[in-house]
Structure 1
């Protein structure tokens, strides 16, 4: 039976979350839903669409109003194009920031173009300039007499056809402008925030580059043809943001917070349905909910920096809204940890099933082969030549470990544990659901208390009382759940304790039974952490609702907060919940510095290898040929290649008439840093041009028919066309963003140039209607082809190499964090663990930034062995390692020293050999990511098995009693054990993924591998178990080892059958043997004797 509240938690009042499916579909008919890019028929999204569409439509009206068209010029359509690139879809201050970068780019391009023009014209002597002008006038006068055209028009045509071209002037133009193009490219590649600065700076400079060398005298206003309509478009967008449904920063943040809270109800609903109602969970739905929640939170983060500059009308000011950030983040982290618990549980079961399937396949194949050996010599030769499965040794050892740990009573232990935690969970989980629901409803009501449609005072008082009662109920149930769950776990497994509350024995049966306690305690800790997160957020909410009960006009507290945002300062909120659990920011900063110092020490001290001059030369060389440097050089090359025809006398006129400037712009904007992005850009520009061109033709011919352009018809049809195009621009998937921008730009170009040709005819007009479209399409193809050439020569910039290098550096950082963990663990005077969360977040942001590039690798033609799917797996495992190390670092500062030492003794966490094994594996993976070389076949993996062997070999006494289980620190101890084992398991999985991608090298003889794997677990440490099942498993492996000695079958025709009678007594001997303590030397002697 599925839980109907699960979908409610995802949908609710948050339109951004409506496309998320529930964890398990209901048994009835599944409701049909619109695709994600169409499912935006809600008030919030429609208001944004209306605001952006009105701004673009008003900008398009300037094209069909003759006075504005003649005043602004032929590029009036550029204002609409700007609004497609920077639509007023967000809050006002974010739009102002984007508009500022755009205007800054145009200003830089204009200023540098003027400087280049002054310098270039100074290179030509005045006498020579006057002589050329005199010859120009005579030629224009003669041609005007013969053609009957005005002298001024003929003179203008001659100028644009290259009459005044001079090599010295052209060289200076190209040198200076290409220099600035290089600098802007480096700036954009270093910081993508300057993308608009680079794009519009290049566009404005391109006018000076292609037209400036043709002009006889200085004219510093030629970029005005694009700068003026661009500024008008920015002004229209700003006015639309203020006049139509203005949205304050605090309102936008509260909207996102409400969406996050409703999404965070999902993990609680899934836990309830899985535990209480026995509904199965789907792993893909858990991942989908996780990614959706993280994406919504990241979407909210940029607006938080603008809260100090916020003007708003409402109950809460910007500081009040900001005070919810930290409690919300804690609730987010705790809910995601519970979600990760389910993901790890389902993922672990899937891995076990896969290993068991592999084992059954190999055993069945070995059994069938053993029964059909004789007479199948060809089949054996074929089997010999069959490629060996990558990572087989590690997989088989993992299977052996799982078989050793698994017992017949495993399912009964799990069932007993679930029965123990189910009754207490029936109370605490609904309380958490109620808490998330009342928080979301309160945020929605407070955010609605603006200008119009305010909730009534009775409604707000009801929400305040409901929040306070829910908080009180949650606090009571939290303590009740902790005590009741612990006692039920103790009562369920009471048979393993004596009358004094201590373990009766430490045999294997008791250890297997104690696993149920550990699993239950881990689940209990996750639920309590989630309850604590909701309690803190609800306490802060109740404090705000009691303090702020009236609507006010809130003004910004000063421009100094803008500088605070730049330098990442934090402001103290005026209303705080009692006994805030969050540390002081200054203390956190000091602890972070101490942790960074520890990391620097853990990284080691580098050896001085070169002199200062040599390092300077090498650094400069690497700076020039790095990915950013090569991108800048490619951009300069394509600029020169596409602009040269504009300054050659034989092609200058053709270039001007055919609007070659747009081909140059297309080539420049098509060049990107990495090849995967270029493939997407290449395809998107072609598709967008065709779709936009068709839309422009439809708009032109419907609005004008066969006439010269009806302003009323065009105004009417453009309202509809721009609405559809703006819908795609705002709501299409990010991968289609370039295509939608190109479609809008092409549509505006077709309509704008067509109306220009029929109302303000001038030299170089491309015609109207279809003539404009096919010229535009040709320019796009030419520019894209030029970009393709410079992109793939001399060597395509592979995004896979960049991502692998980033992941390799991430592995190095993880090794540093692991070293820091070892340095802090069990040391009471080390407090670096307090800032573990910040270290994990910094590394997590780096990994999250790779999501887009990794997904685009599917479009890259690369020789790298790393595909998009493989790198996605590596990135996910790195995120798991970062998460587990961060949690362990945090526990190193809160877990009692005695329990830390216990974990180190039991699991060998601080054992030098185990530490060396982990460091060695992390180092090998790091280098393999960087070089692409196969991993050695034999590595100290699986690390989980080595951890288990360490525990078995050292026979550490298990100190477990009822009083210890009742200690709340023991729950954190269980979580620490779980995190450490998950860390080792993630490293093992990472090795398998890398081997599956790169293969294995340094192959060791199968005989030696079988000698290493046949020995029962622990034999190398001086003990061996007597177990009929183990004996049988060992004998099966022994048979497989004998089969690997294929020379028996080749030298002696029936060699294998000949020794079968000798094997039967051996089997009986192994089953009947007793426990024989044996040292490593005795085991080796027996191997040699055999």
Structure 2
């Protein structure tokens, strides 16, 4: 009995020790099916090596029939697998073609006199031999027929092609798999081609035959072993995303049940887990794009066709974006307590023990002016007086929104069940479960819609209730409307607004799924829609390609769209010359651009890559080392050197760690596999097959489920594992020149080759290394600049709407037709700028996630010149992410606000004040320029933006004031628009706070030019100002 009770707890403890991605995939039936399919395909590829006849047919590279299973596993739909394998095989054919062309020219360039003399000498040496052909082949690999002219031709082709491959690898990461295998084939062809005095165009045929065998086996397995279409894969991903959305909403319960100070400090890691889940959601949504491109290029059977599945992508993106906006709530709490920390320097009231436990931040205190600190002090005093601190309001926020969160979670569970049922039971003509799930979805949708209405008309007033007595005093003229302690009300209403906005997206998603389910009542065969998307899929410059992560490379910056290029063209000028005016100037401008390109980091990397390739290839064409190079498989050192050389030195150093670790693990597993299955002999087919099949299971599991961080060492370990077992079997059963040995001999030689390749690329890295840290700094500068552009676009749209609304409110007489046309045009304009805004938010969020990974890898450059400010860069990146979320929140608030309330928001925040907008954009430019150039900033430029916002405060517009004050304060706060207004207020506050902090971080990174005596004069001036301004004026700020 005790054993039964203890076993679950033991299993749970074991699961807690494992990474979460392992536990999740171990529990997934879909992943187990993929594991079985990939295992069968890869193991069957290994079985081909064991019979003698098939081994002779495949040749000495026969192990590629199973190694290809790790490079492109059969865990994908058939058309996607064919696409991936086609790219691999096209790469091999391209390398083969370049090598064959090089051989053709090299043979024609040979010195015929020397060639005839060498052939005559070889014939004389083979006379009397039992096997003259074997003697001739031995002479070939001894380097007897090497010719300088021929070797130079091969070297030129190898160097030029390697330069091209390096550029493609840098600029088009989707083609990395193609280029890698093209380079491998060309390496082998160029290493062994110069040895032959006669045409030998089939040197690499063994590689192609072996890979082709795996392709045939894998296609059969994909079709018959748990087959999966792209449609099924896409809907399975949608199901997983919906499940993660449900978990993310459920995590809000745990967060809101904490005290505000616990949320800020996050000692239990609850907020950190939600933050990590948010990052995973964004990555998963972006990954859907790679599947939608190919979803119509297949025959599929089921209820929904490719277009039905693709229709879920955009609503799902909007839902994820809106639900992920909950991430801003902990940051609002942090801003709230930051104000309390700053108040600790102003002795107005004694703070409570809970509040004094928060340590003051010197940088924050230094950044705020005396006026701002007094404003915080006044607000805190009023909150204590009226019991409306955030600690008092948070439990009310939790209770009032609990039903909304619960029904949202139930709705997501219902829609997940419907999509899963549609996707799983495709072959059933009728499904009682699906009908039941549809009924539950209908009920959940109605429950959510009813809960939303209840919240709008009832529950949301619970957040307002603690403030109503104070608001009624304002209406009764007992207290001033200025300086009210409503910060916690704004935070609570902002959260409620974000929740309401999220439910709108959820309801749209629910209705779309329900409509599609009703429309498609029967399963049928769906034919492919077209093949034009294939070109776009292959040559699209994406940053989510898995193969680009195999080499430790970071994704390139996002390409600008055509509209963005046209928008930037008029104002992006060359400060050194005017635009070319004639043909000669245009030609010279092109030459200038080419020269600038030749000085880029990408071209420098390509030159180093080509130089490294030639340097490690030369021993293959020297007569004294040619035989040693061939017999010891020296081309593997060349391949490893090429793969470890990367654009940035930190990525390269990180690659050494993971590749050496993966190689060591692969050698150990390979040796254990070989000796368990074969003992001390040359190989037992049955024992080797059984042992390989057993150890193949964990290798395949890690390969198909590994996270990006674990993927590179996993592939390295898997390929090393295959090489140890494969070479041991091939060398034990096939007569070859330069036998590498069996078991241990293969392992230690492989380790030495890996070390040679790593050392060679490391030495070349030391020649003009490209710092990843500098790239991180420059990319942060570019991100700040892009945030500035998004802010400008948002403000521009806001200003345009303000002008339109002002015209609508003008007393001029216009016809009803003109009014209708204005409304239609305004609606179209709003939709246009919102769609454009959404189209820039998600790509930038993913670029920030990529930059976060690169910031983490930059630590591997070491601290040779001094410690790297990784903490500051990580904090800068956090602020950029938070600002992006705040801008999305502000755009959503503007989209939902009534025009009159939008004017209210303008005059409440003064965010559209031209002088303040100038200050904001100047700060953006200053931070971006300082990070880009590394130049220090002046101490006094600019001051905090909050201080500047108060400085620019002016009297409200008279007409706007009449519009705002038509209702009492209580009626205005009870209005539904007040929640969206609060979300806008909080978003603007967060943008200001993030930009101020980014300014401080940039000063810490780049330095600060001091202004002697300024701090003393500033303090004295502010004290004079405080003494001169009446207390009532301070309170109203």
TM-score if structure 1 supplies the norm length?
0.80
1:952-982 deviations in whole A, cap 9, x for unaligned?
8989978463443454444333222221111
- CA shift, 1:797, in A, is 1.4
Mark the CA change 1:180 to 1:719 in structure 2 (over 3 Å): closer, same or farther. Answer: same
Once the two structures are superposed, the pairs formed by residues 513-552 of structure 1 within 5 Å of their partners are: 513-552=485-524
Matching residue of 2:320: 332
CA contact 1:753–1:765 (8 Å) conserved in 2: no
Matching residue of 2:621: 647
Q: Does 1:187 align with 2:188?
A: no
Mark the CA change 1:950 to 1:742 in structure 2 (over 3 Å): closer, same or farther. Answer: same
CA contact 2:598–2:604 (8 Å) conserved in 1: yes
Alpha-carbon distance between aligned partners in 2 of 1:1076 and 1:73, rounded to the nearest angstrom = 86
Alpha-carbon distance between aligned partners in 2 of 1:761 and 1:231, rounded to the nearest angstrom = 23
Once the two structures are superposed, the pairs formed by residues 404-415 of structure 1 within 5 Å of their partners are: 404-410=378-384, 412-414=387-389
1:84 maps to which of 42, 60, 70: 70
| Larger deviation, residues 667-676 vs 945-954 | 945-954
- CA shift, 1:347, in A, is 3.4
- What's the secondary structure of 2:231's corresponding residue? helix
Q: Does 1:713 align with 2:687?
A: yes
Alpha-carbon distance between aligned partners in 1 of 2:947 and 2:280, rounded to the nearest angstrom = 35
CA contact 2:677–2:684 (8 Å) conserved in 1: yes
Mark the CA change 1:713 to 1:416 in structure 2 (over 3 Å): closer, same or farther. Answer: closer
Alpha-carbon distance between aligned partners in 2 of 1:786 and 1:32, rounded to the nearest angstrom = 41
Once the two structures are superposed, the pairs formed by residues 567-586 of structure 1 within 5 Å of their partners are: none
Mark the CA change 1:942 to 1:864 in structure 2 (over 3 Å): closer, same or farther. Answer: farther
2:779 maps to which of 759, 782, 806: 806
1:1024 maps to which of 1022, 1025, 1029: 1029
CA contact 1:836–1:887 (8 Å) conserved in 2: no
- What's the secondary structure of 1:774's corresponding residue? helix
Matching residue of 2:122: 136
- CA shift, 1:340, in A, is 1.8
Matching residue of 2:833: 833
List alignment gaps of at least 5 residues for structure 1.
Answer: 1-27, 365-387, 569-591, 1031-1074, 1078-1090
Matching residue of 2:606: 632
Mark the CA change 1:343 to 1:419 in structure 2 (over 3 Å): closer, same or farther. Answer: closer
Once the two structures are superposed, the pairs formed by residues 165-564 of structure 1 within 5 Å of their partners are: 165-273=146-254, 281=263, 282-337=270-325, 339-349=326-336, 351-352=338-339, 393-394=366-367, 402-410=376-384, 412-414=387-389, 417=393, 424-451=400-427, 457-485=431-459, 487-488=461-462, 492-497=466-471, 502=475, 504=477, 507=480, 511-560=483-532, 562=534
CA contact 2:166–2:605 (8 Å) conserved in 1: yes
Alpha-carbon distance between aligned partners in 2 of 1:980 and 1:602, rounded to the nearest angstrom = 28
Give the number of aligned pairs.
944
1:381-430 deviations in whole A, cap 9, x for unaligned?
xxxxxxx9767631676655533442252582146655765664343332
- What's the secondary structure of 1:306's corresponding residue? coil
Mark the CA change 1:1015 to 1:108 in structure 2 (over 3 Å): closer, same or farther. Answer: same
- CA shift, 1:844, in A, is 2.4
CA contact 2:249–2:405 (8 Å) conserved in 1: yes
- CA shift, 1:855, in A, is 2.1
Alpha-carbon distance between aligned partners in 2 of 1:503 and 1:796, rounded to the nearest angstrom = 71
- CA shift, 1:1018, in A, is 10
Q: Does 1:907 align with 2:909?
A: yes
Matching residue of 2:857: 856
Mark the CA change 1:983 to 1:777 in structure 2 (over 3 Å): closer, same or farther. Answer: same
Matching residue of 2:102: 116
- What's the secondary structure of 1:504's corresponding residue? coil
CA contact 1:315–1:449 (8 Å) conserved in 2: no
CA contact 2:26–2:32 (8 Å) conserved in 1: yes
Alpha-carbon distance between aligned partners in 2 of 1:845 and 1:986, rounded to the nearest angstrom = 19
- CA shift, 1:870, in A, is 3.1
Alpha-carbon distance between aligned partners in 2 of 1:861 and 1:60, rounded to the nearest angstrom = 42
Matching residue of 1:821: 794
Q: Does 1:1011 align with 2:1017?
A: yes
Matching residue of 2:1002: 994
| Larger deviation, residues 47-56 vs 935-944 | 935-944
Mark the CA change 1:737 to 1:476 in structure 2 (over 3 Å): closer, same or farther. Answer: closer
- CA shift, 1:647, in A, is 0.5
- CA shift, 1:129, in A, is 2.9
- CA shift, 1:614, in A, is 5.4
List alignment gaps of at least 5 residues for structure 2.
Answer: 1-11, 264-269, 352-360, 541-560, 805-828
- What's the secondary structure of 1:450's corresponding residue? coil
Alpha-carbon distance between aligned partners in 1 of 2:635 and 2:535, rounded to the nearest angstrom = 40
TM-score if structure 2 supplies the norm length?
0.84
CA contact 1:826–1:892 (8 Å) conserved in 2: no
- CA shift, 1:173, in A, is 1.0
Q: Does 1:797 align with 2:770?
A: yes
CA contact 1:645–1:655 (8 Å) conserved in 2: yes
Alpha-carbon distance between aligned partners in 2 of 1:209 and 1:895, rounded to the nearest angstrom = 68
Matching residue of 2:824: none
Mark the CA change 1:790 to 1:850 in structure 2 (over 3 Å): closer, same or farther. Answer: same
Alpha-carbon distance between aligned partners in 2 of 1:796 and 1:565, rounded to the nearest angstrom = 33
Alpha-carbon distance between aligned partners in 1 of 2:134 and 2:917, rounded to the nearest angstrom = 83
Alpha-carbon distance between aligned partners in 2 of 1:57 and 1:974, rounded to the nearest angstrom = 61
1:337-395 deviations in whole A, cap 9, x for unaligned?
2x2243323433564576578999xx99xxxxxxxxxxxxxxxxxxxxxxx97676316
- CA shift, 1:118, in A, is 0.9
Alpha-carbon distance between aligned partners in 1 of 2:426 and 2:871, rounded to the nearest angstrom = 47
Mark the CA change 1:222 to 1:894 in structure 2 (over 3 Å): closer, same or farther. Answer: same
Alpha-carbon distance between aligned partners in 2 of 1:768 and 1:517, rounded to the nearest angstrom = 74
Mark the CA change 1:419 to 1:761 in structure 2 (over 3 Å): closer, same or farther. Answer: closer
CA contact 1:424–1:485 (8 Å) conserved in 2: yes
CA contact 1:110–1:201 (8 Å) conserved in 2: yes
1:163 maps to which of 144, 150, 165: 144
- What's the secondary structure of 2:800's corresponding residue? coil
Alpha-carbon distance between aligned partners in 2 of 1:359 and 1:656, rounded to the nearest angstrom = 79
How well do the aligned residues superpose, as a CA RMSD in angstroms? 3.5
Matching residue of 2:703: 729
Q: Which has the higher contact order (CA 8 A, sep 6+)?
A: 2
Alpha-carbon distance between aligned partners in 2 of 1:137 and 1:595, rounded to the nearest angstrom = 70
- What's the secondary structure of 2:201's corresponding residue? coil
Mark the CA change 1:154 to 1:353 in structure 2 (over 3 Å): closer, same or farther. Answer: farther
Q: Which has the larger radius of gyration?
A: 1
- CA shift, 1:567, in A, is 10
CA contact 1:70–1:760 (8 Å) conserved in 2: yes
| Larger deviation, residues 179-188 vs 699-708 | 699-708
Q: Does 1:34 align with 2:18?
A: yes
Alpha-carbon distance between aligned partners in 2 of 1:358 and 1:248, rounded to the nearest angstrom = 64
Alpha-carbon distance between aligned partners in 2 of 1:404 and 1:353, rounded to the nearest angstrom = 11
Alpha-carbon distance between aligned partners in 2 of 1:929 and 1:272, rounded to the nearest angstrom = 40
Mark the CA change 1:320 to 1:311 in structure 2 (over 3 Å): closer, same or farther. Answer: same
Q: Does 1:783 align with 2:788?
A: no
1:973 maps to which of 973, 978, 981: 981
Alpha-carbon distance between aligned partners in 2 of 1:514 and 1:1018, rounded to the nearest angstrom = 29
- CA shift, 1:597, in A, is 5.8
Alpha-carbon distance between aligned partners in 2 of 1:516 and 1:727, rounded to the nearest angstrom = 49
- What's the secondary structure of 1:553's corresponding residue? strand
CA contact 1:699–1:721 (8 Å) conserved in 2: yes
Alpha-carbon distance between aligned partners in 1 of 2:363 and 2:77, rounded to the nearest angstrom = 53
- What's the secondary structure of 1:406's corresponding residue? helix
Mark the CA change 1:241 to 1:746 in structure 2 (over 3 Å): closer, same or farther. Answer: same
Alpha-carbon distance between aligned partners in 2 of 1:668 and 1:528, rounded to the nearest angstrom = 53
| Larger deviation, residues 863-872 vs 836-845 | 863-872
Alpha-carbon distance between aligned partners in 2 of 1:686 and 1:359, rounded to the nearest angstrom = 57
- CA shift, 1:487, in A, is 4.6
Alpha-carbon distance between aligned partners in 1 of 2:610 and 2:533, rounded to the nearest angstrom = 39
Alpha-carbon distance between aligned partners in 1 of 2:653 and 2:314, rounded to the nearest angstrom = 41
Mark the CA change 1:30 to 1:661 in structure 2 (over 3 Å): closer, same or farther. Answer: closer
- CA shift, 1:209, in A, is 1.1
